[in-house]
Amino acid sequence: MSNMQLKNPILRWIEYRLPIFSFLDDSLGSNYPAPKNLNYWWNFGSLAGIALVLQIVTGIVLAMHYVPHVDYAFDSVERIMREVNYGWFLRYLHANGAALFFLVVYVHVFRGLYYGSYKYPREILWWLGIVIMVLMMATAFMGYVLPWGQMSYWAATVITNLFTALPWVGVNITEWLWGGFTVGNPTLNRFFSLHYVLPFAIVGVVFLHLWALHQHKSNNPLGIDIKGPQDTIPFHPYYTYKDLAGLGVFLLVLAAFVFYSPNYMGHPDNYIPANPLQTPAHIVPEWYFLPFYAILRAIPSKLGGVIAMAASIFVLFLLPWIDTSRVRSTKFRPVYRYFFWFLVIDVIVLGIVGAKPPEGIWILVGRLATLYYFVHFIIIMPFVGWFERPLPVPDSIHKPVLVSAGAAAVEAQR
């Protein structure tokens, strides 16, 4: 608890009854200590939070004009684009904002992978992050269905049909999800309802995520613990200003898409109204789902594909045990360093495969890339961790004196 010296008497009056100012100051103000050596990869957490708020604000206004009915949804979105004042701006912000939200979160996750942020004592923090990512995926999938274009309809059909692969109860579950015997109006209605509410569930999990973060503070590029006040600087003003600088760049990228290439990341077929009688030539999800889509299609059986896709995310929950390395940061891992970048390339390859029709060479590439994804986590990570000799790790953030890997090992394994 900070002993805040508020000058303004009104604020002081409030603070005495509801200590909200000291709460803020303790949470992301001058009384919250952060490692002094965070680099720009640490910007992506706050960016994700801002992107979430942006989605909620634009989404609430869109929902004031949107009509969740199969006969009117497409027209209502066109009405937003043409008749509602700055409706096109809202919709393009929401659609491109969702894509950049994923980009930011994916960078955030790979940051965590590189610097070992999932290791002791941040396991729950990491799990909550994965939960957020999964909730985002569900939210974005259902949001994409709302404009009720061709891709909306067929994405909904393909994805909900995956549940029919479950043994015995598959069809029942799928029909329960649809609210009927095909994707139809009840499906659209419930997707709208859930698309509205899930982001608020995400906000809740974000709070838990931050709570866990504040318990042991941020990890840092060296992956070593904070030893004392000499290792930290106050979050405000140092990281507030650094985050603002990153925010400016993020907004520039977002604005460049919204104003100059608003449909670049979208699919033209979604400007064709949904037509259950006509299947599009290629059904492709939004780019941020492509790697998972590739894994889904890499397995020749439907149930197998679903299991592999689920496992590709579930395996991330196990990282705290899968990673046997004695040090957190990949910076000090001369062997794993290469495998990290192989994984990044592998996921990009999966993304490319996901965009291709499953024919010819792409089937093979997709299977190999899927195999490598799991080999990375199940084999490479534990074995490299055992056999690799980490580079000497500095003693403290403040005094980067190098010590033997042994001392660092004690720290990481505690």
The residues binding ligand HEM (CB under 6 A) are 52, 55-56, 59-60, 62-63, 66, 77, 91, 94-95, 98, 101, 136, 139-140, 143-144, 146-147, 195-196, 199, 202, 266
Q: Are 396 and 227 in contact (CB under 8 A)?
A: yes
* Chain residue whose CB lies nearest ligand HEM: 59
Report how far apart the first and last C-alpha atoms of the chain are (Å, whole number).
28
CA distances from 1 to 20, 27, 47 (A): 11, 10, 27
Question: Angle at Cα 367 formed by Cα 366 and Cα 369, nearest 5°?
Answer: 65
Q: Are 81 and 91 in contact (CB under 8 A)?
A: yes
CA distances from 375 to 15, 368, 372, 383 (A): 54, 10, 5, 11
- Cβ proximity to other proteins, 23 vs 287, nearer residue: 287
Per-position x/- string for 345-374, each x denoting binding to other proteins as judged by CB under 8 A, each - no binding = x--x--xx--xx------------------
Q: In a 3-state reduction of DSSP, which class is residue 395?
A: coil
- Nearest residue to 22 via CA among 9, 12, 36, 8: 12
Per-position x/- string for 284-323, each x denoting binding to other proteins as judged by CB under 8 A, each - no binding = ---x------------------------------------
Residue 255 binds which of ligand HEM, other proteins, none (CB < 5-8 A, kind-dependent): other proteins
- Cβ proximity to other proteins, 21 vs 88, nearer residue: 88
Residue 397 binds which of ligand HEM, other proteins, none (CB < 5-8 A, kind-dependent): none
Residue 66 binds which of other proteins, ligand HEM, none (CB < 5-8 A, kind-dependent): ligand HEM
- Cβ proximity to other proteins, 179 vs 358, nearer residue: 358
Burial, 26: exposed, middle or buried (Cβ in 10 Å; 0-12, 13-18, 19+)? middle
Q: Are 42 and 218 in contact (CB under 8 A)?
A: yes
411 is catalytic: no
Q: Which helix (H) or strand (E) holds 410?
A: helix 405-413
Q: Which of 231, 286, 346, 388 is catalytic?
A: 286
Angle, helices 290-298 vs 302-317, to 10°: value is 130
On the CB side of 411, CA atoms within 13 Å amount to 19
Residue 195 binds which of ligand HEM, other proteins, none (CB < 5-8 A, kind-dependent): ligand HEM
Quote the CA–CA distance of 346 and 336 in Å, as a whole number: 15
- Nearest residue to 126 via CA among 57, 209, 191, 184: 209
323 is catalytic: no
Q: Are 77 and 91 in contact (CB under 8 A)?
A: yes
Judged by CB under 8 A, which stretch of 17-25, 85-93, 180-188, 302-310 contacts other proteins?
A: 85-93
Judged by CB under 8 A, which of 10, 252, 401, 410 binds other proteins?
252
The nearest distance, CB 404 to other proteins, in angstroms, is: 27
Residue 143 binds which of other proteins, ligand HEM, none (CB < 5-8 A, kind-dependent): ligand HEM
286 is catalytic: yes
The nearest distance, CB 280 to ligand HEM, in angstroms, is: 15
Tell me: does residue 228 bind other proteins (CB under 8 A): no
Q: In a 3-state reduction of DSSP, which class is residue 89?
A: helix
Residue 269 binds which of other proteins, ligand HEM, none (CB < 5-8 A, kind-dependent): other proteins
Per-position x/- string for 86-125, each x denoting binding to other proteins as judged by CB under 8 A, each - no binding = --xx--x---------------------------------
Residues 6+ positions from 13 with CB-CB distance below 8 Å: none
| Residues acting as catalytic residues | 214, 218, 242-243, 286
